[in-house]
């Protein structure tokens, strides 16, 4: 699930919804503490992500190229379906009005990043990607995948580089995979430490910033429709994906509550 989300609306949000985000960030931030226990916990997640990306990357690229509006609606549904659980998690330790400030700051940051990206290479097809560029794109993508709610995939779409990157991965082109991976891993490691610190010190404000990123993503993923039929189909796709994500959160939550009662 997280692997598919990493290609769409961000693995971080889905990881929070499934209740595995905090522990994953602590493991990434300090992988050698309780190494064997950490490895047992995280390897099935990593394996699932790699499998999902390998199987779905080409499909996502195809859908974006040929059914862009409907695919964007699916992205919207994934984000919307996870927001209720995101809000519940954010308010777990109480609510303070000052949390709304961090939410607004997150909104502004995401909008500025998107404007810069869209003015850089909007609508262009990139045929050649240099190593420094790929490292930067990997870093951008990692920021969105690790930072929950921060869906930077739309920035890569606006810059016209998502398709060639996905094609490089599906073709096992290591000239693309290696530098992109370097940028991704570097940011993932540093972001994990930052996120762990922020959750420990500023729990509520951090989660409301995540909500701000998610709300901005809703606006940024609104597609351009070609006709009324496409609008109707888009709404149906959005509702289906939102319901699926919402249902998964409820099932996961009920499963954990049942397990806690059994353990007691």
Give 123's pLDDT tier (boundaries 50, 70, 90): very low
Over pLDDT 70: what percentage of the chain? 71
Dihedral sign of CA atoms 19, 25, 27, 28 in order: positive
- How far CA 6 is from CA of 37, 48, 73, in Å, comes to 25, 11, 16
Please tell me the total count of domains within the chain: 1
Instruction: Name, in order, each residue with C-beta under 8 angstroms of 258's C-beta and a sequence gap of 6 or more.
Output: none
Comparing C-alpha atoms, which of 7, 156, 121 is closest to residue 75? Answer: 7
- How far CA 251 is from CA of 234, 244, 246, 254, 255, in Å, comes to 26, 10, 9, 5, 6
Highest mean pLDDT among 9-18, 186-195, 215-224, 233-242: 233-242
Is the pLDDT at 41 greater than 60? The verdict is yes
Interatomic CA distance for residues 12 and 5, integer angstroms = 8
Which residue range is the domain that position 30 belongs to? 2-263
The 3-state DSSP class for residue 1 equals: coil
Comparing C-alpha atoms, which of 61, 53, 41 is closest to residue 11? Answer: 53
Is the pLDDT at 263 greater than 60? The verdict is no
**116 or 59, higher pLDDT:** 59
Is the pLDDT at 122 greater than 50? The verdict is no
* Average pLDDT score over the chain: 77
**24 or 254, higher pLDDT:** 24
Give 130's pLDDT tier (boundaries 50, 70, 90): confident
CA atoms within 13 A on the CB side of 72: 18
Contact between residue 7 and residue 53 where contact means Cβ atoms under 8 Å apart: yes
């Amino acid at each position: 699930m997280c692997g598919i989300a990493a290609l769409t609306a961000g693995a971080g949000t889905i990881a929070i919804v499934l209740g595995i985000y905090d522990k994953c960030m602590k493991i990434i931030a300090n992988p050698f503490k309780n190494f064997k226990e950490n490895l047992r916990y995280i390897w099935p997640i990593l394996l699932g992500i790699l499998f999902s990306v390998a199987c779905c990357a080409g499909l996502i690229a195809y859908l974006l190229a040929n059914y862009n509006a409907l695919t964007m609606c699916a992205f919207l549904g994934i984000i919307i379906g996870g927001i209720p659980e995101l809000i519940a998690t954010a308010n777990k330790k109480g609510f303070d009005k000052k949390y709304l400030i961090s939410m607004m700051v997150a909104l502004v940051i995401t909008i500025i990043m998107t404007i810069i990206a869209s003015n850089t290479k909007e609508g262009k097809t990139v045929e050649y990607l240099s190593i420094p560029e790929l490292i930067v794109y990997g870093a951008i993508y990692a920021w969105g995948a690790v930072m929950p709610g921060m869906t930077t995939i739309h920035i890569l779409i606006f810059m016209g580089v998502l398709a060639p990157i996905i094609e490089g991965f599906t073709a096992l082109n290591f000239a693309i995979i290696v530098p992109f991976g370097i940028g991704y891993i570097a940011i993932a490691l540093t972001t994990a430490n930052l996120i762990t610190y922020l959750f420990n010190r500023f729990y509520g404000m951090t989660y409301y910033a995540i909500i701000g990123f998610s709300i901005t993503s809703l606006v940024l993923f609104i597609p351009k429709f070609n006709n009324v039929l496409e609008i109707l189909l888009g709404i149906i796709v959005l509702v289906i994906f939102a319901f699926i994500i919402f249902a998964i959160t409820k099932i996961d939550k009920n499963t954990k509550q049942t397990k806690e009662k059994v353990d007691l």
